[in-house]
Amino acid sequence: MKTIQLLSLVLIAGWMFACNAPKGELDELDKKVEELLGQMTLEEKVGQMNQYNGFYDVTGPAPSAGDAKNKYDHIKKGWVGSMLNVRGAKNVREMQSLAVDSSRLGIPMIFGFDVIHGHKTLSPIPLAESASWDLEAIEKSARIAAIEASAEGLNWTFAPMVDISRDARWGRVMEGAGEDTYLGTRIGVARVKGFQGDDLSANNTIAACAKHFAAYGFAEGGRDYNTVDVGTATLYNVVFPPFKAAIEEADVKTFMNSFNIVNGIPATGNSFLMRDILKGEWGFEGYVISDWSSGEEMIDHGFARDTAHVAQLAAIAGSDMDMESYAYVKYLAKHVREGRVAESVVDEAARRILKVKFELGLFDDPYKYCDEAREKELIYHQDHMDAALDMAKKSIVLLKNENNTLPLSKEQKKIAVIGTLAKDKDSPLGNWRMAGEDNTAVSVLEGLEKYTSNIKYAEGVKLVTGPTAFPIELEVNETDRSGFKEAIRLAKKSEVVIMVLGEHGLHSGEARSRANIDLPGLQQELLEEVYKVNQNIILVLTNGRPLAITWADEHLRAIVEAWQLGTQAGNAIAEVLFGDYNPSGKLPMTFPRHVGQVPMYYNYFNTGRPGPDGELFYPHYMDESHLPLYAFGYGLSYSSFEYSDLKVQVVDKENVSVEVMVKNTSSVDGEEVVQLYIRDRVASIVRPVKELKGFDKINLKAGEAQSVSFKLSKKELGFYNGNGEFLLEPGDFDVMIGGSSDKVLTASFVLN
């Protein structure tokens, strides 16, 4: 009944409102949007800009009770454009029918959810996936996440997070692609393509969301939600590119703005970001949602007087949808009626939101994502498990392997496995697991035991005590050493010790900043005690951020960075330790020696006093090296690779071709990420000592050599100045190629 009513209204009203539509050619979809928009009341248009949280998951400060209880009435009135944290085909169908069957126009809602690294089948945390440098695998990982999320009724994910960050203290580094803009851009595009697929109207694709716009990863002190103060050139050259590419190369349908200020204005009320840059310069046609209560938080920022003022400032600045501030649903219609906000602002926001809903096919079938049979068939599908395992293996980074300690022989006897994280089936799932079910990861111990029965386990030390459920602060064990004795006894009588140390799954993520990036709790002490009785230790790190493991690097023979690898964690780690997979990961973030060096990144500026070491007057510390422990792009393999014959040819004033020979000098087939960096030696603003501008992950059989070539154009060689102008200036350049940012062949060229 409702659909017929809606269609007839659309036909009658169509011609009346085309004149209000944006200028230029209206295509079929735009016409539908205009026809629908034209028959909506002001409250209904404002309603599209209003999102409510379901009762299923709360991912931010609990909403003020007085408002949340009205949500069902508002849905029936057509005053709710979207829900977040409602999932399950049945639940979504029930909630959707409130809007479609009860409201006047039956406009379907869009259901958003944090599908960050997998949905039910969890892939590695995004920072780990980024360590694979395998864009195809990363895109596939997002594709599978979309298949499972859409099977649960969802049609929109608040991902990918494309915030660049150089600060390991910030808990949300686990959620991004690390410190580099080029790598972060490539990965962000791959993730959007994975989520949105080739046909957004299909029932296994979902709208993606480039977040958090912008510069959220530059929070001072690495403290989440803290003040951000970055220069405009850094905005344009470091922060913006992943967002811009998400639009231009992957047609991302939504953006999320951020909690922080940019140039003194909260992102949710920042028209420079959303109107000048995003919708102006970049021509973004989708819609922008606020972050959770980020609108309301403009009051605490000292930018808005009260919630009514929030509604006015955020809407005018271009924040199209309100997540959990309840500002628009309460005040926006009144602002329009009393002339404080032009109705065209509301029309534009509603238009953008409706357009995405049409593109998703929600008007054709509001229940297309609500198929319980499909949900049953697809969740935890074996293909998804297999892909999660593949992604996990590719994400592992071999940091040290003296005297080929690894891989272990499958005949190895007397293996001790020590560490509470070795048996932990929950921490490998990482934070932002949202729909994932707790304790469903394959633990390291379970993975190893599939290979051999020659294993004995000792916990060694508890990592955390007390409850760990979100949003509880973790209580880290700093006193209980009762497990030391058993661990040391076991290590003493073992031939090899695998120590699994690192962070609890909730030691990183949102609101999980750490002032110290050592191994938390008593783990380091345990490691040193075990070392006293057995030096044949293989350290397996499971963590959500770079850790300062300087002692381990100085003393241990083998170190494996295994991050938090998701559902298949233990299987992936075991395959690497026993050599069935040759590790190929490279670090997407610098590992500092000490937290005092942070923020630390490879693409730094030279400064006027670059050194050399040993001088007094150059950027260094009296009490610590100024060099990283492990560099961006670093990662070992069971193979070894040799680079030679770097050749550069200047094609014209904007194009350069580069070629290098890479040889696998070992007896083991392996993969290598060939990385290309440039340096613009003299420019109208200073440029970094090196910047990643290309990479290629290649397979080389034992003894095989391959020529790898790259094309550099204005896009790679140019930069933005402080006015946002993109420039390519003639002059001297260096090009560097290698398997790590700190181990490269260098050649120079001149652009005229």
Instruction: Tell me the CA distances in angstroms from 655 to 600, 668, 752, one per residue in order.
Output: 31, 37, 11
**Hey, which residues between 77 and 106 contact ligand GLC (CB under 6 A)?**
84
Instruction: Tell me the CA distances in angstroms from 271 to 214, 266, 292, one per residue in order.
Output: 12, 10, 19
The binder of ligand GLC chosen from 30, 114, 152, 716 (CB under 6 A): 114
Angle between helices 484-492 and 523-533 (to 10 degrees): 30
Beta bridge partners of 674: 696
The binder of ligand GLC chosen from 21, 56, 60, 625 (CB under 6 A): 60
- Residue closer to ligand GLC (CB basis): 292 or 451: 292
721 and 622 Cβ atoms separated by less than 8 Å = no
| 144 phi, psi to nearest 5 deg | -65, -40
Instruction: Tell me the CA distances in angstroms from 151 to 115, 146, 206, 370, one per residue in order.
Output: 12, 8, 10, 7
| 623 phi, psi to nearest 5 deg | -120, 10
292 and 329 Cβ atoms separated by less than 8 Å = no
Q: Does 59 bind ligand GLC (CB under 6 A)?
A: yes
Number of residues that bind ligand GLC (CB under 6 A): 9
Side-chain-facing half-sphere of 259: CA atoms under 13 Å? 17
CB of 168 to ligand GLC, least distance (A): 19
- Residue closer to ligand GLC (CB basis): 53 or 205: 53
Report the candidate in 689, 682, 695, 706 with the shortest Cα–Cα distance to residue 746: 689
**Tokens at residue 463, please?**
């990592």
- Residue closer to ligand GLC (CB basis): 174 or 445: 174
Report the candidate in 274, 286, 194, 275 with the shortest Cα–Cα distance to residue 247: 286
Side-chain-facing half-sphere of 128: CA atoms under 13 Å? 38
CB of 59 to ligand GLC, least distance (A): 3
Rounded distance between C-alpha atoms, residue 434 and residue 56, angstroms = 11
Rounded distance between C-alpha atoms, residue 588 and residue 605, angstroms = 19
- Residue closer to ligand GLC (CB basis): 114 or 426: 114
Q: Does 322 bind ligand GLC (CB under 6 A)?
A: no
CB of 118 to ligand GLC, least distance (A): 15
- Residue closer to ligand GLC (CB basis): 114 or 179: 114
- Residue closer to ligand GLC (CB basis): 292 or 484: 292
Alpha helices in 331-407 (DSSP H): 333-337, 343-360, 372-378, 382-395
**Hey, which residues between 523 and 542 contact ligand GLC (CB under 6 A)?**
none
CB of 114 to ligand GLC, least distance (A): 5
- Residue closer to ligand GLC (CB basis): 222 or 583: 222
CB of 196 to ligand GLC, least distance (A): 17
CB of 68 to ligand GLC, least distance (A): 15
CB of 120 to ligand GLC, least distance (A): 17
Rounded distance between C-alpha atoms, residue 583 and residue 570, angstroms = 15
CB of 60 to ligand GLC, least distance (A): 4
Rounded distance between C-alpha atoms, residue 358 and residue 33, angstroms = 8
**Tokens at residue 400, please?**
């040290």
H-run or E-run covering 649: strand 641-650
Site string for ligand GLC, 203-222 (x = CB under 6 A): --------x-----------
Rounded distance between C-alpha atoms, residue 741 and residue 186, angstroms = 17
CB of 213 to ligand GLC, least distance (A): 11
- Residue closer to ligand GLC (CB basis): 505 or 628: 505
Rounded distance between C-alpha atoms, residue 159 and residue 269, angstroms = 21
- Residue closer to ligand GLC (CB basis): 67 or 624: 67
Catalytic residue, candidates 30, 163, 291, 426: 291
Beta bridge partners of 209: 254
Question: Is the alpha carbon torsion for 602, 608, 609, 610 positive or negative?
Answer: positive
Site string for ligand GLC, 453-492 (x = CB under 6 A): ----------------------------------------
CB of 259 to ligand GLC, least distance (A): 7
**3-state secondary structure at position 287:** strand
Report the candidate in 643, 676, 675 with the shortest Cα–Cα distance to residue 660: 643
The binder of ligand GLC chosen from 156, 158, 578, 710 (CB under 6 A): 158
Rounded distance between C-alpha atoms, residue 61 and residue 699, angstroms = 47
Question: Is the alpha carbon torsion for 474, 478, 483, 489 positive or negative?
Answer: positive
Q: Does 165 bind ligand GLC (CB under 6 A)?
A: no
- Residue closer to ligand GLC (CB basis): 84 or 128: 84
291 is catalytic: yes
484 and 533 Cβ atoms separated by less than 8 Å = no
Site string for ligand GLC, 602-641 (x = CB under 6 A): ----------------------------------------
The binder of ligand GLC chosen from 292, 451, 531, 641 (CB under 6 A): 292
CB of 186 to ligand GLC, least distance (A): 21
- Residue closer to ligand GLC (CB basis): 56 or 551: 56
The binder of ligand GLC chosen from 30, 139, 167, 510 (CB under 6 A): 510
319 and 290 Cβ atoms separated by less than 8 Å = yes
Which residues have a catalytic role annotated? 291
Per CB under 6 A, residues contacting ligand GLC are: 59-60, 84, 114, 158, 211, 291-292, 510
